[in-house]
Structures are given as C-alpha cells and as structure tokens.
C-alpha cells in the first residue's frame, strides 16, 4: 500500500531509524544465509591413499559392540562435532549388529539403513565418515573371540570379503572425500597371513567400487605400518595410546592395576629382577643415591618369587629391612601358586607390597638378594614424610638386565629419578611417529585412527601427554580421531573427577581439552 505524504503511522522522526534497523537486519539475514550456503558448498578435503587430509575428529561408539549396547547413531553428535570445529568421525562397528539370526551371510536391511543415516549426516554436516569393522567375521580384539580365524580360515575370509563388498556396492559413487573404509581394527597376526587376508578384502571392495578409499590399521594393534601393502595403494592408520600407563590407567579391560601412578614425562622402566649368589652374573643390587632429606617410606612390590628369596634393604650399608620368601603349594602370602614344570620348582606370584623406612640423611640405598634363587620387584615407590603422594618407578623383568644406579630427588623439576632416561616427547616421536613418517615418505597416506586417555588418568598429566602427541602429529601432517566424543575418553561427559566442566547444550564440556584439540 502506498502511504500518502504526512500519513505515516509513526512520527516522521522514528521512520528513518526504523528503516535503517530493518535494512541492517535484512543484511544480517542475507549474510547468515550466505554463510550457510558457503558451508554447504565448501570444498571437501581431497583424500587419496597416497595423501590423507589432516582430519581431526572422534570415534562414535553406537555400534561398537552388538547387542543391548548397540543403537542408532545420533544426528546430534554430528551437529556438535561440526559446531565445535571438527571434520571426521570413525565408526567402529560389530558385524553381528547387521546380520539376521546369527547367520553371517544374511543381512539386516534396517540395521544397514542406520549406517546409511550416519553416512548421510556426515554429508549434511561436512564430516568425513570412516567405516570400520571393529569385529569382523573371523576377527576381533574384544571378547569373546570369534569361533574361526580370519587369518587362516578360508570361509571366514570369504564371508568378511562379502561384508565389505556389500558396503562397497551400497556406497558406490560417494566421493572419497566423504567416505572411507577402515578394514579391521587393531590387527595382530603373522605378517604374511595378515597381508594375504587384507589383499582378499581389498579385492572384494574394488570388484564393486574400484576407486573407494581404503585404510588398513597397522600391525601389532595398529602400532606399526605394513609396507608390504604399498602396492595395493591403500592408506594406513596408526594408534596413539603409547604408553599404556598413561592412556589406560585405571581401565578395567586391561591389567591396569599394575600401572604406576601416572606422570608425564615419566621415567623408563628399570630392570627389577634380583638374583641370589647362585646366579653370580645376575647377583647385583638396585642402587639409589640420595641424600634422603627426610625419612622416606620405600615400597617394594614383590611380583614373583622363584624357589626362595632373602631380600634386604640397606641404608648406607646398614640393614633397615629383611624379608624371607619361600613359595610352595597351597595357601600362603602369595596370590597364585605357579609350579614351573621345566625346573620342578615353585615360582609363585605374590603381587604384594612390602615397605621399609629409609632414615633421614641417608646417602645411598641398596636393595639386594642375600640368598635364594630370584625375585622380581615390579614397582618401587618412594614417599617422603609429609608428601601427599608417593613417586613410583615401574620395572621390567629379566635376569640378564642390571639396573644402573640413579638418584632420588623429589624436588627436582625435571622429575624425581635422576639418571633414568625419560619417556617424553622425544621418546614419543620415536615410538609413535618415526615409522609412520617413513611410510608417508614411501607414498602411504597415514592418520591416527584412535587415541586418548581413560578418565582415571590425572587431567593435567593427560593434557601434557596429549599436547606432545598432537604437536608431533601436526608436524608430521597426520590427522587423528580420539577414541570417543562423549564418554570416558572424550571431550563431552567424560566423568573425570578432577575437571571443572562447563555446561554445553545438555552436556558437560571439558573446555581445557577442547581448546587444546582446537589448537592442533
């Protein structure tokens, strides 16, 4: 309707500001709409077997284990992952979740449609989706094990190939920038058997979709690349869980009860087996220099005793502790009776702590065997009077190994164990990155398919370790995916007792971890 002069419904002095405001709102709406269109049309990161993008994201676990814990994926996860600035999800899946009535050759279309939906949400939210068989016909790292072996059983190989061929046919035509196939989770097998099985799976996929991007986890649970696969032109995936004492501290699915209290950097394990005079080549002491400024509790975790052992602790040459062990049948101090048939002797597992007090002013401590066969001390703990927590030192077994003397200095900024090589960022580079950089140099695309730390690892320790890993992967141009998004390893709802969480869209957000991840 045309408004006649002087007939504005509002005073003339209010019209111009109102029109300006309307124009600003319209411009803002156009800008938002343009941004949305730009996001929809943004270029996907190019992905090839020879060069993977530096994806960053998370594993989503809805179909990680078939059964009552299996459920459809959540669009909300994709939305939040995108909103927080990440671009990748890996879907570790259990094949039992998409077969009918336990028949591994019969597929459940409804279950497959739930995976279709996740792939489509990846497209909607601009997130690359990597499908992974965490449990495949004939293979799993979980319990219970499969009844047949993918590495040796031809039928298991045929069925596993059938499953991957089904996915290849189903998703043919979806660009590699959006979708990849990550064959098997953390394989561990004889190299030649592994390579032969992988070749069959790749052939089955390429018979349906010759151009599909395929990623194989490395051997030894994803720790080492397999260059024998290079001629297949597939990428490979590493892991970022080293050392397990950090990543899996307190985890009930590994023997974490034997892990020392986490620290990062952390000392290397020292030899912890002591032998009696009957083994002169191994009859040596663990020598610890001081000075010990205050009285200190020395905790010795006795893991195994063979035949008999007389264990002593000396402070400046004076005996401050002595303990005799005599394993045998039946009940005793030990946790488990072990009879070594080869030598006809008992080598019982004690798995028990014993403690000595080191007097203040002590200059040197020696832990030795004065009689018997051998004893393995799996951990040595030091707790000065008044300290809130002990410093612990993990060991490794082996009669042929001798611990070098070291100094205990609890106030030392670089760590309390002076003279013991450290597991630190440089060590991580050698353990986690070096071999994968060599694979990249040979034209193999590489990423880290899983990493993170369980929620029992102290948060500040976790963050220091995480940043060292993230920086190394960034330098190596390697993408990564944390084990989960929501949950005990994740950035949301991780259940840590030492984190001040932030409320975020109905979740508990670990802001410190999020900001660290976004920096890398």
Residues 33-85: pLDDT tens digits? 333 333 444 689 999 999 999 999 999 999 999 987 899 999 999 999 999 99
* Structure tokens belonging to residue 322: 């002595």
Weakest mean pLDDT among 62-71, 236-245, 507-516:
62-71
* Structure tokens belonging to residue 261: 């209290």
Question: If you average pLDDT over residues 457-478, what whole number do you get?
Answer: 98
Task: Check whether 5 has a pLDDT greater than 50.
Answer: no
Task: Check whether 27 has a pLDDT greater than 50.
Answer: no
CB count, 10 Å around CB of 91? Answer: 22
Q: What percent of the chain has pLDDT over 90?
A: 88
Task: Check whether 32 has a pLDDT greater than 70.
Answer: no
Q: Which domains does the chain have, with CATH numbers?
A: 56-250+426-519 (3.20.20.80), 269-419 (2.60.120)
> Is residue 245 a contact partner of residue 221, using CB atoms and an 8 Å limit?
no
Question: If you average pLDDT over residues 318-343, what whole number do you get?
Answer: 97
pLDDT of residue 38: 34
Question: If you average pLDDT over residues 212-240, what whole number do you get?
Answer: 97
Q: How far is CA 407 from the centre of its chain?
A: 32
Question: If you average pLDDT over residues 449-462, what whole number do you get?
Answer: 98
DSSP class of residue 260 equals P
CB count, 10 Å around CB of 475? Answer: 12
Mean pLDDT across the chain, nearest whole number? 92
Angle at Cα 251 formed by Cα 249 and Cα 253, nearest 5°?
A: 140
> Is residue 274 a contact partner of residue 285, using CB atoms and an 8 Å limit?
yes
What DSSP string runs through 389-454? S-EEEEEE--TT--PPPEEE-TT-TT-SEETSPEESHHHHIIIIIHHHHHHHHTT--EEEEEE---
Give the closest residue to 400 by CA, choosing from 307, 306, 282.
Answer: 282
Task: Check whether 286 has a pLDDT greater than 70.
Answer: yes
Weakest mean pLDDT among 36-45, 216-225, 231-240:
36-45
pLDDT of residue 414: 87
Q: What percent of the chain has pLDDT over 70?
A: 92
Give the closest residue to 47 by CA, choosing from 215, 165, 206, 167.
Answer: 215
- Pairing assessment for the beta strands 56-59 and 479-482 based on DSSP bridges: parallel
Please give the backbone phi and psi of residue 471, each rounded to the nearest 5 degrees, phi first.
-65, -40
Reduced to 3 states (helix: H, G, I; strand: E, B; else coil), residue 333 is coil
Task: Check whether 310 has a pLDDT greater than 90.
Answer: yes
Burial class (CB in 10 A: 0-12, 13-18, 19+), 13: exposed
CB count, 10 Å around CB of 93? Answer: 28
Map tokens 């994806």 to a residue.
55
Burial class (CB in 10 A: 0-12, 13-18, 19+), 477: middle
Which pairs with CB-CB distance under 8 Å and at least 24 residues apart come from 199-203? Answer: 199/232, 200/157, 200/160, 200/161, 201/160, 201/161, 201/164, 202/232, 202/234, 203/161
> Is residue 369 a contact partner of residue 319, using CB atoms and an 8 Å limit?
no
Task: Check whether 480 has a pLDDT greater than 80.
Answer: yes
* Structure tokens belonging to residue 239: 């892991």
pLDDT of residue 55: 98
pLDDT of residue 227: 96
Q: How far is CA 280 from the centre of its chain?
A: 41
Residues 403-427: pLDDT tens digits? 999 999 999 988 999 999 999 999 9
Map tokens 């760590």 to a residue.
415
Angle at Cα 342 formed by Cα 336 and Cα 347, nearest 5°?
A: 25
CB count, 10 Å around CB of 464? Answer: 17
Reduced to 3 states (helix: H, G, I; strand: E, B; else coil), residue 101 is coil
> Is residue 177 a contact partner of residue 128, using CB atoms and an 8 Å limit?
yes
| pTM to 2 decimal places | 0.86
pLDDT of residue 42: 63
pLDDT band at 322 (very low <50, low <70, confident <90, very high): very high
Reduced to 3 states (helix: H, G, I; strand: E, B; else coil), residue 482 is strand
Question: If you average pLDDT over residues 170-190, what whole number do you get?
Answer: 98
Give the end-to-end CA distance of the chain in Å, rounded to a whole number: 57
Reduced to 3 states (helix: H, G, I; strand: E, B; else coil), residue 80 is helix
Burial class (CB in 10 A: 0-12, 13-18, 19+), 256: middle
Maximum Cα–Cα distance across the chain = 115
Integer Cα distance of 453 and 183 in angstroms: 24
Question: If you average pLDDT over residues 386-396, what whole number do you get?
Answer: 95
CA distances (Å), origin 36, targets 126, 285, 518: 12, 69, 22
pLDDT of residue 80: 98
DSSP class of residue 354 equals E
pLDDT band at 163 (very low <50, low <70, confident <90, very high): very high
> Is residue 461 a contact partner of residue 261, using CB atoms and an 8 Å limit?
no
Burial class (CB in 10 A: 0-12, 13-18, 19+), 229: buried
Preceding omega of 291 cis (within 30 degrees of 0)? yes
Burial class (CB in 10 A: 0-12, 13-18, 19+), 245: buried
């Amino acid at each position: 309707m045309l408004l006649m002069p002087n007939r504005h419904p509002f005073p003339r002095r209010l019209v111009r500001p109102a029109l300006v405001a309307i124009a600003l709102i319209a411009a803002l709406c156009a800008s938002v709409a343009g941004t949305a269109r730009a996001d929809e049309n943004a270029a996907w990161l190019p992905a090839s077997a020879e060069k993977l993008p530096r994806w960053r994201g998370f594993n989503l676990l809805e179909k990680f284990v078939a059964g009552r814990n299996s459920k459809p994926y959540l669009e909300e996860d994709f939305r939040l992952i995108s909103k927080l600035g990440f671009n990748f999800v890996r879907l570790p899946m259990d094949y039992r979740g998409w077969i009918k009535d336990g028949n591994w050759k019969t597929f459940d279309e409804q279950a497959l449609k739930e995976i279709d939906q996740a792939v489509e949400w990846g497209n909607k939210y601009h997130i690359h989706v990597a499908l992974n068989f965490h449990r495949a016909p004939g293979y799993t790292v979980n319990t219970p094990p499969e009844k047949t072996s993918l590495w040796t059983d031809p039928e298991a190989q045929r069925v596993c190939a059938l499953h991957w061929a089904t996915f290849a046919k189903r998703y043919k035509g979806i660009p590699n920038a959006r979708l990849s196939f990550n064959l098997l989770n953390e394989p561990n097998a004889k190299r030649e058997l592994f390579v032969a099985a992988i070749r069959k799976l790749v052939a089955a996929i390429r018979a349906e979709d010759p151009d599909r991007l395929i990623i194989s986890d490395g051997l030894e649970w994803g720790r080492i690349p397999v260059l024998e696969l290079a001629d297949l032109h597939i990428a490979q995936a590493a892991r970022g869980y080293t050392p397990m004492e950090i990543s899996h501290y307190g985890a009930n699915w590994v023997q974490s009860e034997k892990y020392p209290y986490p620290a990062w950097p952390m000392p290397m394990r020292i030899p912890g087996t002591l032998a009696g005079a009957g083994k002169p080549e191994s009859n040596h002491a663990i020598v610890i220099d001081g000075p010990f400024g205050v009285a200190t509790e020395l905790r010795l975790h006795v893991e195994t005793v063979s035949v008999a052992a007389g264990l002593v602790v000396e402070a400046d040459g004076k005996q401050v502790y002595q303990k005799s062990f005599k394993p045998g049948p039946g009940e005793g101090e030990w946790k488990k009776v072990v009879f070594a048939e080869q030598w006809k002797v008992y080598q019982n597992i004690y798995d028990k702590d014993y403690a000595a007090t080191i007097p203040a002013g002590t200059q040197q401590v020696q832990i030795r065997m004065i009689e018997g066969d051998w004893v393995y001390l799996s951990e040595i703990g030091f707790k000065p009077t008044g300290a809130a927590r002990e410093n612990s030192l993990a060991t490794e077994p082996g009669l042929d190994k001798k611990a070098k003397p070291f100094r205990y200095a609890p106030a030392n900024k670089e760590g309390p164990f002076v003279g013991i090589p450290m597991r630190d960022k440089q060590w991580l580079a050698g353990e986690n990155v070096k071999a994968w950089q060599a694979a990249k140099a040979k034209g193999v695309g590489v990423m880290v398919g899983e990493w993170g730390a369980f929620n029992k690892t102290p948060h500040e320790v976790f963050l220091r370790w995480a940043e060292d890993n993230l920086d190394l992967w960034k330098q190596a141009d390697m993408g990564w995916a944390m084990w989960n998004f929501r949950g005990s390893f994740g950035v949301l709802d991780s259940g840590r007792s030492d984190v001040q969480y932030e409320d975020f869209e109905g979740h508990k957000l670990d802001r410190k971890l999020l900001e660290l991840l976004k920096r890398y």
